[in-house]
Amino acid sequence: MTDENVLRVQGISKSFGGVTAVDNVSLAVKRGSITGLIGPNGSGKSTLFNLISGAEKKNPGGSIEFEGRAIDGLPPHRRSALGLGRTFQTPRLFTGMTVLENTMLAPRGQKGERPFVAPFRKRWEGQEIELAKKAQEQMTRLEIDKLYGKLTSEISGGQMKLAQLSTALMEDPKMLLLDEPTAGVAPRLAQDIFQSITDERQQKGTTFFIIEHRLEVLFKHVDTVFVMHQGRIIAEGRPESIVKDKKLIDAYLGS
C-alpha cells in the first residue's frame, strides 16, 4: 500500500515560554509535489520545519509521519538518514571548509567516512571522483562552481544560500524542506533556483516543501500552498485560489 502523502503532521504544537509558535498544526504533503508554506514574519513557519526535521522538540502530543513511519521520536540525523533533508533560513554552512568540501560532505553512505576505511585511499577514491563530478554539475547549475576553493566564511550571503542548497541537493533526499531558498539571491538567479527545483522533481521525483516570501516566483512553480498565521494553518489550496482569496492576502500582507 502506498500512501500518496509522503509527510503527515497531526496536531503538533510548540511553545517557547508563553509564545505558542506552532499551534496544533496538521497537514499532509503529497509525494512528488512542490508545496509552498507562506505566512507573515513570525507566523511559525521555520519553527514548523524545525519540528519536522527534529532540530526542535515538539510539545507532547500529536505525531509526525514520514513515509508512513512515525519519526517524532527519532534524533535529527536519523530523520535525515530516512531521506528527509532540510536547509536553514540563516545558512548553516561549515565555515572552516570550502564550498566544494561542503557540497561533497552531503552524500550519504560514503565509504571513506569510516575511520578504518579512510586511510585506504583506493577503497573510496572511485566513489569520491563520482561524487565530485556530481558536485561539479550541481554547483555549475547553481553558478557557484567558481567558488569551489573558497571557504564558506568568505562568500556573500546569497552565495551562502546557494551553497547550502547545493549541499542539500547533493544528499539526494526523498523530501527536502527549504527555508527561504531565494532570500538574498538576485532575481534572475531566484528564477533559476526554482527552475532547478522543478527539474530535480522531474528527474528524481523529489518532494519539495518550501517556505518563501517571493510569492511571484513561488506561485509559478508550486502545486499547493499552505498559509500560516500566528502558528496555525489558515488555508490550503492551489496557488490560483490562494491569490484570489482577498482575506488571506490581507492577512499575509497586513502584518
Ligand X SMILES: Nc1ncnc2c1ncn2[C@@H]1O[C@H](COP(=O)(O)OP(=O)(O)OP(=O)(O)O)[C@@H](O)[C@H]1O
d(CA 129, CA 218): 35
Strand ranges for 33-162 from DSSP E: 34-38, 63-66, 69-70, 84-86
**For cell 562552481, what's the residue?**
145
Q: Which of 75, 157, 187, 205 binds other proteins (CB under 8 A)?
A: 75
Q: Counting contacts by CB under 5 A, is residue 24 touching Mg ion?
A: no
Q: How many CB atoms lie within 10 A of CB 146?
A: 10
**For cell 502584518, what's the residue?**
255
Q: Which of 21, 135, 163, 175 binds ligand X (CB under 6 A)?
A: 21
d(CA 220, CA 207): 16
Q: Counting contacts by CB under 6 A, is residue 157 touching ligand X?
A: no
Give the closest residue to 112 by CA, choosing from 101, 132, 126: 126
* From other proteins, ligand X, Mg ion, none, interface partner of 39 (C-beta below 5 to 8 A by class): ligand X
Give the closest residue to 167 by CA, choosing from 78, 70, 80: 80
Q: Which of residues 34-53 bind other proteins (CB under 8 A)?
A: 53
d(CA 101, CA 97): 6
Q: Counting contacts by CB under 6 A, is residue 47 touching ligand X?
A: yes
Binding segment (CB under 5 A) for Mg ion, from list 81-89, 110-118, 129-137, 226-234: 81-89
Q: Counting contacts by CB under 6 A, is residue 16 touching ligand X?
A: yes
Q: Which of residues 195-214 bind Mg ion (CB under 5 A)?
A: none
CA distances (Å), 139 to each of 90, 136, 163, 186, 200, in order? 20, 5, 8, 17, 14
Q: Counting contacts by CB under 5 A, is residue 46 touching Mg ion?
A: yes
Binding segment (CB under 8 A) for other proteins, from list 11-19, 25-33, 122-130, 199-207: 122-130
**What does the binding site for other proteins look like in residue numbers (CB under 8 A)?**
53, 55, 75-78, 80-81, 85-86, 88, 92-98, 100-101, 104-106, 108, 110-115, 117-119, 121, 124-125, 128-129, 131-133, 135-136, 143-151, 155-156, 159, 167, 171
**What does the binding site for ligand X look like in residue numbers (CB under 6 A)?**
16, 19, 21, 39, 41-47, 89
